A and B are shown apart, each in its own frame.
Chain A
């Protein structure tokens, strides 16, 4: 394991621990593996720049989620990228998994992030509101509407 000797920060460990989460959320937000790659690098470089402000592992995780969402927004605002977005092609083994995953990707962005954080990362509505710096009721509504849309598209409850 490569450790940065000068300041004792183990970048490889950070990537191993949070890399998948950041990447999955980046794909969830950008719907593109190419853009998710850029978001991934940018988020971890920002993380290193702000590492002095990180107080705990929980704080680090929440910080990374917030940074990934913000960074994805920055990329989306880039007009050139907006016109060249390519949909993610993961090549899922199971057709049903693929169907559910793409159904979530087709949701509006605000519903996608809430669905991901709640159902995959296991955050509660209160925790998501804290991370997103949003109102609890807003998150509750977004989750409810996202679920409703998925129910219509997938012809089944998303529970």
Chain B
């Protein structure tokens, strides 16, 4: 009986057509997998590249600040637009009154505005440069020119420091 069952089963085979169709579908599945894997790898590589470049930029800013020994305002290309509207260049665009402050990071970097944060041991303040139309202009506005706004936001700097900052730009 057992042998008859084995012999009967041996006569059952998938058709060649079925095998060919299945191989084709399997290969297609492999191509999809391969495509997906390569896209994932590309996306991962892009993310790594972005993080790598960001790291390099931050490192560069940090190194330059350390070299100068004071607060250096290193602006990216996007933020140059706003700064240049005030007739300031990259190296001089930080106020003497706040030269002891360290530029920490750019908080945002949208199309037409850039926010920079300075801080020392116990104080910090931000300066935002950008288009008046797009920025939320409030009491913190300290300078306007050609529809560009330099917005100063701080509740920790004293009056003397504020005046020094404003004087610098005037």
Contacts and interface: CB of A to CB of B under 8 A. Distances in A.
Determine chain B's interface SS by DSSP, over half rule.
helix
A150 B34 contact: no
Contacts of B145: none
Interface in B19-53: 19, 21-23, 25-27, 29-31, 33-34
Interface of A: 2, 4, 6-7, 9, 11-12, 14-15, 19-20, 22-24, 27, 36-37, 40-41, 44-45, 47-49, 88, 90, 92-94, 96-101, 104, 115-116, 119-120, 150, 154, 156-159
Contacts of A98: 8
Contact of A4 (B9, B22, B27): B27
Nearest to A9: B30
Interface string B1-29: 11011111101111100110111011101
A19 to B, nearest CB: 5
Contact of B5 (A15, A90, A120): A120
Given A23-B12, A97-B11, A159-B1, 8 more contacts: A9-B30, A11-B27, A22-B14, A45-B29, A48-B26, A100-B1, A101-B5, A101-B9
Contacts of B22: 11, 15, 19, 40-41, 44-45
B14 A40 contact: yes
11 contacts: A19-B13, A23-B12, A24-B9, A24-B12, A27-B12, A44-B25, A94-B8, A100-B1, A101-B5, A120-B5, A157-B1
B170 to A, nearest CB: 66
A152 B151 CA distance: 95
Nearest to B23: A11
Given A20-B14, A23-B12, A119-B6, A48 B23 contact: no
CB-based closest 9 A-B pairs? A101-B8, A97-B8, A11-B26, A23-B14, A100-B4, A6-B34, A48-B29, A158-B1, A11-B23
Contacts of B2: 119, 158-159
A40 B29 contact: no
A11 B30 CA distance: 9
A100 B18 contact: no
A33 B23 CA distance: 19
Contact of B26 (A14, A116, A120): A14
Given A15-B19, A41-B21, A158-B1, A100 B8 contact: yes
